[in-house]
Homo-oligomer: A and B are copies of this chain.
Amino acid sequence: MPNKLDLGAMFRSRSIAVIGAAKDITSLPGRPLHFLKGFYQGEIYPVNPNYSELNGLTCYPSISSVQAEIDLAIVVIAAAKVPEVIRECAAKGVKAITVLSSGFAEQKGRSGKRLQKMLKEIALKGDIALAGPNCAGLIGVQNGVVATFISGLDRGSILQGPVSFVAQSGALGSYLFAAAQDAGVGFDNWVSTGNEAVLGFHDFVSYFVKQETTRTIIGYMEDARDGKAFQTAALEALAAGKPLIILKVGQSKSGAKAASSHTGALAGADKVYSAAFEQCGVIRARNVEDLFDLASICGATHYPRGPRTALMTISGGAGILMCDRCEDEGLQVAKLKNETKDALKQVLPSFASVENPIDVTAELVANPDLLLKPMEITLADPHVDSLVIFLGLQSSNGLRLASLIIEAAAPTGKFIAVNWIAAPPGAVQKLRENSIPVFSDPARGIRSLGALVKYVQCRKLILSKNVAPRFESMPGSKKRTTGTGTSRRKLVQAQAIIQLARQEKRKALTEHEGKQILELYGICTPKRRLAFSAKDAAKAAEAIGFPVAMKISSSDILHKADAGGVLLNINDPTEVKRKYEELLSSVSAKYPMAKLEGVLVEETIQQGIEVIVGAKQDNCFGTVVTFGSGGKLVEMLQDSAIRVGPLGRSVALLMIKSTKVFKLLTGYRGDKKRDIAALVKVIVSAARLAEDLSENLASLDINPVLMLEKGKGAQAVDALFVLK
């Protein structure tokens, strides 16, 4: 988005024109004017040559005939006429437009796409902030800007609050708007992005981050479109301490299944999104209610500093239930100090439990005031980061209990939430008005708290350590130069190897070629020689030292072991010769169409733990790097970490630590520790290599990388480079 576009003119506009306004308030073109009359305090200019007056307002034949400055134009006319109207708006100096009309790039055929291209060019030339086309409009709650037709507004009122919402679907965005309001989520802004001809999802996020009245941004996403721009906006939100919560749909695994490389299979499109989100501290909502729950919990006055959670309950069973969920959601059931337990004993009935979960017992029903002291005592415990209270029913005492909770919460800097089953509505409202999150199901409350704690920890990590992605577009970052003359020369060599394969129209490099590139990037590979005859192979084996491995060399066979093209532990020259012939004949019998270049004779690396390091190009996010349990079982184990590049050593180390295989590498059950430092280098080099060669390289598997003892390095035993 060009910086000069003025999104304030959209969401805080002081004057609005409705181009194509109509009389029938049940019709799509009639609704925006109808809503504006109900909510908006600024100037409204209906534009339609067929009327001189509409709903009591003067109606203008064209935008240019309006004798006043216009911040925002709502366009609801036939698609074909839109470009001309945008041009008129540009001439008139209109700053912002939302195009509700459909019939653009979302349609089959070229004409819609052409129209959208025109519209984009005119808007950019005229410095117009344009939302849509084919969108449901937008809402700026502060100024009553209701530039939309959504039925979510039919209820006649909007619950104001600190949440701004970016929706990549008009209809669903409208329903979610209404349901969120029902769930007590108050809004600052709402926007439907439509076809995103000019302004995209990330532009709105970036704008909302800068609004003082917005504390939390929620989104419904189908496609980030520009991954780097999205991540940049997400990092802005993270830096500003404004949680960005996204419900991302489209998790179909079918894409991943068809992948030709292990890396492709491990890092399906949806997993790449999850990784990209996590790297930038985006909270991913699991479903619709989760989106609202998270929005609600992010509205809390204080965020928890850590995972140590005190649970206070009116029912023992609910206490156990919350404990169960804490374990699942990464929270710790806080260990209370002895002083805390002693103090609780003084104020609770003798049969109450003063161990966490603290059971205040059903005495609370008769005596609601019993809640205050235990809350104060528990919140004062330095081992407690947050307090979650469970209540049920209490129709007669509900408001009193809510007041007590608010009273106890006020002086503390700690996070407090309430799980309240079958709660009296008044009590819920009172708590929410005081920024205390309330959940109707204890599992949802604990899940939301777990997500919030993870957000806080993740934010701290990303902002304090050097692990945030660095993009060229970000302030302070610069394009990585290819560096010294040496590394430049290496890149040229690597590119030459790939060019050769491309000239031969190959889909992949041979293992030998791939390993040459790995070596150029400083990744160790076993000693090896490509042999073109049995005699040659035996000589190579003697030079390398026994036992050797023998592998068929062919860029037509991507997974050699599966094809029976790999033989291990060959112990003498005679066997090498015999196996050479066997290998060629058995593979060519199986794959008569495959071009076999010879046999790779290779040093045997003993006793390594197998891991995989991989990289691929993602359409949306660019270079994606994977690390995980490797070897033949890699796709079965599904133990991998995924990150969007570029990445440095600290991120590589985090990736390693997040996998199960990490435990093996650090000396599992009496085994020796492995060379993690060498592995970090392999991951960083693979990431850099993939970035450097991104134009031609679709994906890269280094599988297995054999992890040797600490100090002895890591060896890339196989390598598969798949070309674009």
Smallest Cβ distance from A25 to chain B, in angstroms?
13
- CB of A522 closer than 8 Å to a CB of B: no
- CB of A68 closer than 8 Å to a CB of B: no
Question: Is B392 a contact partner of A288 (Cβ separation < 8 A)?
Answer: no
Which residues of B lie under 8 Å from residue A318 when comparing CB positions? Answer: 171-172, 175
Which listed residue, B176, B288, B321, B636, touches A443 by the CB 8 Å rule? B288
Question: Is A362 a contact partner of B179 (Cβ separation < 8 A)?
Answer: no
Question: Is B315 a contact partner of A362 (Cβ separation < 8 A)?
Answer: no
Which residues of B lie under 8 Å from residue A421 when comparing CB positions? Answer: 175-176, 178-179, 288
Which listed residue, B222, B564, B663, touches A636 by the CB 8 Å rule? B663
- CB of A250 closer than 8 Å to a CB of B: yes
Instruction: Give the complex CA separation of A415 and B253 in angstroms.
Output: 26
* Binary per-residue interface labels of chain A (301-326) against chain B in the complex, 1 for a CB within 8 Å, 0 otherwise: 00000000000001111101101110
Question: Is A287 a contact partner of B442 (Cβ separation < 8 A)?
Answer: yes
- CB of A143 closer than 8 Å to a CB of B: no
- CB of A461 closer than 8 Å to a CB of B: no
Smallest Cβ distance from A698 to chain B, in angstroms?
22
Q: Closest chain B residue to A318 by CB distance?
A: B172
Smallest Cβ distance from A583 to chain B, in angstroms?
14
Which residues of B lie under 8 Å from residue A154 when comparing CB positions? Answer: 393, 395
- CB of A422 closer than 8 Å to a CB of B: yes
Which residues of B lie under 8 Å from residue A362 when comparing CB positions? Answer: 171
- CB of A168 closer than 8 Å to a CB of B: yes
- CB of A289 closer than 8 Å to a CB of B: yes
User: How many copies of this chain?
Assistant: 2
- CB of A597 closer than 8 Å to a CB of B: no
User: Which stretch from A207-215, A664-672, A707-715 is at the chain B interface?
Assistant: A664-672
User: Which bucket holds chain A's interface residue count?
Assistant: 35 or more
Instruction: Give the complex CA separation of A182 and B562 in angstroms.
Output: 57
Question: Is A422 a contact partner of B287 (Cβ separation < 8 A)?
Answer: no
Task: Identify which of residues 43-100 in chain A touch chain B, using a CB-to-CB cut-off of 8 Å.
Answer: none
Question: Is B169 a contact partner of A317 (Cβ separation < 8 A)?
Answer: yes
Question: Is A171 a contact partner of B288 (Cβ separation < 8 A)?
Answer: no
- CB of A488 closer than 8 Å to a CB of B: no
Smallest Cβ distance from A343 to chain B, in angstroms?
22
Q: Closest chain B residue to A559 by CB distance?
A: B669
Contact A175-B393, Cβ < 8 Å, known A288-B443, A444-B289:
yes
Interface centre among A172, A440, A442, A668, by most B CB within 10 Å? A172
Question: Is A324 a contact partner of B251 (Cβ separation < 8 A)?
Answer: yes
Question: Is B317 a contact partner of A249 (Cβ separation < 8 A)?
Answer: yes
Question: Is B636 a contact partner of A252 (Cβ separation < 8 A)?
Answer: no
- CB of A189 closer than 8 Å to a CB of B: no
Smallest Cβ distance from A123 to chain B, in angstroms?
25
Instruction: Give the complex CA separation of A692 and B692 in angstroms.
Output: 65
Which listed residue, B178, B365, B562, B660, touches A422 by the CB 8 Å rule? B178
Question: Is A670 a contact partner of B392 (Cβ separation < 8 A)?
Answer: no
Contact A633-B440, Cβ < 8 Å, known A171-B315, A251-B327, A393-B178:
no
Which residues of B lie under 8 Å from residue A444 when comparing CB positions? Answer: 287, 289
Which residues of B lie under 8 Å from residue A220 when comparing CB positions? Answer: 317
Q: Closest chain B residue to A167 by CB distance?
A: B317
Instruction: Give the complex CA separation of A393 and B151 in angstroms.
Output: 8
- CB of A240 closer than 8 Å to a CB of B: no
Smallest Cβ distance from A660 to chain B, in angstroms?
6
- CB of A492 closer than 8 Å to a CB of B: no
Task: Identify which of residues 258-309 in chain A touch chain B, using a CB-to-CB cut-off of 8 Å.
Answer: 286-290
Interface centre among A155, A174, A324, A440, by most B CB within 10 Å? A324
List 9 interface pairs A-B (beta carbons < 8 Å), by A numbering.
A151-B394, A175-B393, A247-B321, A249-B321, A249-B324, A252-B327, A289-B441, A632-B668, A632-B669
- Give the 6 A-B residue pairs with the shortest CB-CB distance, closest first: A175-B392, A287-B443, A169-B317, A171-B315, A172-B317, A178-B422
